[in-house]
Amino acid sequence: MLKIAIIGVGTVGSSVANILRDNKDIICSRAGMQLIPSIGVVNNLNKKRDVSIKLTDDIDLVLEDDSIDIIVELMGGVTQAYEVVKKALTKGKAVVTANKALLAYHRYELQELAGDIPFEFEAAVAGGIPIINALREGLTANHIESMKGIMNGTCNYMLTRMINDGVAYDDILKESQDLGYAEADPSFDVGGFDAAHKLLILASIAYGIDAKPEDILIEGIENITSEDIEFANEFDYCVKLLGIAKKVGKQIELRVNSAFIPNTQMLTKVDGVMNGISVIGDKVGETMYYGAGAGGDATASAVIANIVDIARRGKGSPMLGFKSENLENLILMSKDDIKTKYYLRLRVEDKTGALAKVSSILANHNISIEKMLQKPVNKTCVHLLLSTHTCMEKDINQALKTLEDEIVVTKKPAMIRIED
Ligand code: HSE
């Protein structure tokens, strides 16, 4: 069993406590032990919070409590968080933090202090995307040639709304604050600093670069106007705030700036609060990571991944999943019961009643046509191209068999599933 204290029970902290409660069975099965969120530390005990864990405002009491195994630092800011993390590590407690500003300034020092004590920070970069894990584990065989990404959900949300809906900068900033995406001080977001903190963490893992925010080029989105967006639309560009790390000879280029990107690039499809990062390794080539970059549950998902990792340490992870008596028994769905939409290509004789025959076969198998096109093939045949509403795999398979045997259908029907 591991006992967890959550320091800072705001949007992310509440989600961590609630997910550990709501998904307890699956998380503890994967961890191989009980994970107990036993206390949360807050500044203001009178503020109403949607959590069921015990709360205190006495941070020292928690740090001194020998029964607490893991400190989850979600208080934000640098100075106090630095003291808390140092004290926790000195006391031998594992630390999980989502605090990118803290890491942007003190990551090497804290790593050294941690030594063999777990010190994890998956949630500090790109919210719910396991990009730290990908860089540390999945891409470990590679020299990283470059990393380019959308790493700030607030800016991406704002730019997307400005581009798609023509909303003014100030209105949209307020909206993203209300949605809980923005930092306590949103100039960290719009000024590019939050993205820079994340970029510095990635650059440490990929290149071992020990730079501070002051050392790199950081520009935000404050100067983007509706004219810039008009120009971008006119010439098929998209405007994004990018964090860029590139190996150039023996140097590493690090910068955060807004940029016009040609609409052909995948990163232009990363919209709203989503983050997307392209990492190019010398052996693997390009890999892409996409997911929610901000928000309570997405960020908590990464925090809890670190907690589970700590629990598993030294025990190895299950290779093909896990088995537990506590879990509902999940079974494989029969292929027949799959439900989706289908596209059918039918070659039929071009004569009276052919279409009626096809539609009645479909209707007899509970299949409803959504859209249809008829295209001539030659003087005697046409193609009927049609999509269906959602129906069952077993029905479509039976309908296809019947259609194949139907005299007006002159060729084996083709089917492609539609995923929308
Ligand atoms: N303010 C940050 C963002 C939160 O908008 O991406 C997640 O780090």
- pLDDT of 169: 85
- pLDDT of 322: 59
Atom of ligand 1 nearest to the CA of 183: 1
Q: What is the pTM of this model?
A: 0.86
The verdict on residue 205 lying in a domain is yes
Two tokens at 143? 């020299």
Angle at 290 between CA 10 and CA 198, to 5 degrees: 55
Q: Phi then psi for 91, rounded to 5 degrees?
A: -80, 0
- pLDDT of 133: 96
Neighbours of 131 (CB within 10 A): 29
| C-alpha 116 – ligand 1 centre gap (Å) | 29
Tell me, yes or no, whether 311 and 370 share the same domain: no
| C-alpha 188 – ligand 1 centre gap (Å) | 9
Question: Where a domain ends, among 290, 317, 350?
Answer: 290
Question: Measured in Å, how far apart are the chain's first and last C-alpha atoms?
Answer: 43
| C-alpha 18 – ligand 1 centre gap (Å) | 20
| C-alpha 293 – ligand 1 centre gap (Å) | 6
The verdict on residue 214 lying in a domain is yes
Tell me, yes or no, whether 101 and 119 share the same domain: yes
The verdict on residue 120 lying in a domain is yes
CATH number of the domain enclosing 103: 3.40.50.720
Using most ligand atoms within 8 A of CB, pick from 152, 201, 271, 277 the residue to mutate for ligand 1: 152
- pLDDT of 104: 97
Using most ligand atoms within 8 A of CB, pick from 181, 201, 256 the residue to mutate for ligand 1: 181
Single-letter code of the amino acid located at 65? D
Taking phi over 0 as left and psi of -120 to 50 as alpha, with beta for the rest, 178 belongs to alpha
Atom of ligand 1 nearest to the CA of 125: 8
198 part of the active site: yes
- pLDDT of 320: 62
CATH number of the domain enclosing 379: 3.30.70.260
Atom of ligand 1 nearest to the CA of 188: 1
Tell me, yes or no, whether 123 and 147 share the same domain: no
The verdict on residue 390 lying in a domain is yes
| C-alpha 332 – ligand 1 centre gap (Å) | 38
Q: Residue 180's Cα: distance from chain center in Å? A: 16
| C-alpha 126 – ligand 1 centre gap (Å) | 8
Two tokens at 17? 């406590």
Nearest residue by C-alpha to atom 4 in ligand 1: 294
Atom of ligand 1 nearest to the CA of 100: 8
Question: Residue with structure tokens 């809906």?
Answer: 165
CATH number of the domain enclosing 266: 3.30.360.10
Neighbours of 295 (CB within 10 A): 19
Tell me, yes or no, whether 274 and 310 share the same domain: no
The verdict on residue 364 lying in a domain is yes
Nearest residue by C-alpha to atom 7 in ligand 1: 294
Residue 339 forms beta bridges with which residues?
392
- pLDDT of 176: 86
Per-residue pLDDT of the chain (420 residues; tens, 9 = 90+): 999 999 999 999 999 999 999 999 999 999 999 999 999 999 999 999 999 999 999 999 999 999 999 999 999 999 999 999 999 999 999 999 999 999 999 999 999 999 999 999 999 999 999 999 999 999 999 999 999 999 999 999 999 999 999 888 888 888 888 888 888 888 999 999 999 999 999 999 999 999 999 999 999 999 898 888 888 899 999 999 999 999 999 999 999 999 999 999 999 999 999 999 999 999 999 999 999 998 899 999 999 999 999 999 866 655 565 555 565 666 778 999 999 999 999 999 999 999 999 999 999 999 999 999 999 999 999 999 999 999 999 999 999 999 999 999 999 999 999 987
- Angstrom distance (rounded) from CA 100 to CA 256: 15
Tell me, yes or no, whether 143 and 219 share the same domain: yes
**Among the listed residues 285, 284, 267, the one whose alpha carbon sits nearest the alpha carbon of residue 276:** 267
Angle at 100 between CA 140 and CA 129, to 5 degrees: 50
| C-alpha 398 – ligand 1 centre gap (Å) | 50
Tell me, yes or no, whether 275 and 140 share the same domain: yes
- pLDDT of 328: 65
Question: Residue with structure tokens 């030294």?
Answer: 314
Atom of ligand 1 nearest to the CA of 299: 7
Neighbours of 8 (CB within 10 A): 25
Using most ligand atoms within 8 A of CB, pick from 15, 125, 160, 183 the residue to mutate for ligand 1: 183
SS3 of residue 178 by DSSP: helix
Tell me, yes or no, whether 269 and 349 share the same domain: no
- pLDDT of 318: 56
Q: Ligand 1: list residues with CB < 6 Å.
A: 127, 152-154, 181-183, 189, 194, 293-294
Tell me, yes or no, whether 285 and 350 share the same domain: no
Number of structural domains found in the chain: 3
Tell me, yes or no, whether 214 and 271 share the same domain: yes
Tell me, yes or no, whether 119 and 159 share the same domain: no
The verdict on residue 41 lying in a domain is yes
The parent domain of residue 7 ranges over 2-128+296-325
Question: Residue with structure tokens 């925010």?
Answer: 213
C-alpha torsion 57→121→297→256, nearest 10? 110
Candidates 100, 148, 198, 240; catalytic one = 198
The verdict on residue 348 lying in a domain is yes
Tell me, yes or no, whether 21 and 160 share the same domain: no
Tell me, yes or no, whether 103 and 195 share the same domain: no
Residue 114 forms beta bridges with which residues?
none
Using most ligand atoms within 8 A of CB, pick from 194, 273, 277, 301 the residue to mutate for ligand 1: 194
The verdict on residue 330 lying in a domain is no
State the burial class of residue 376 (Cβ atoms within 10 Å of its Cβ: 0-12, 13-18, 19+): exposed
Single-letter code of the amino acid located at 204? S
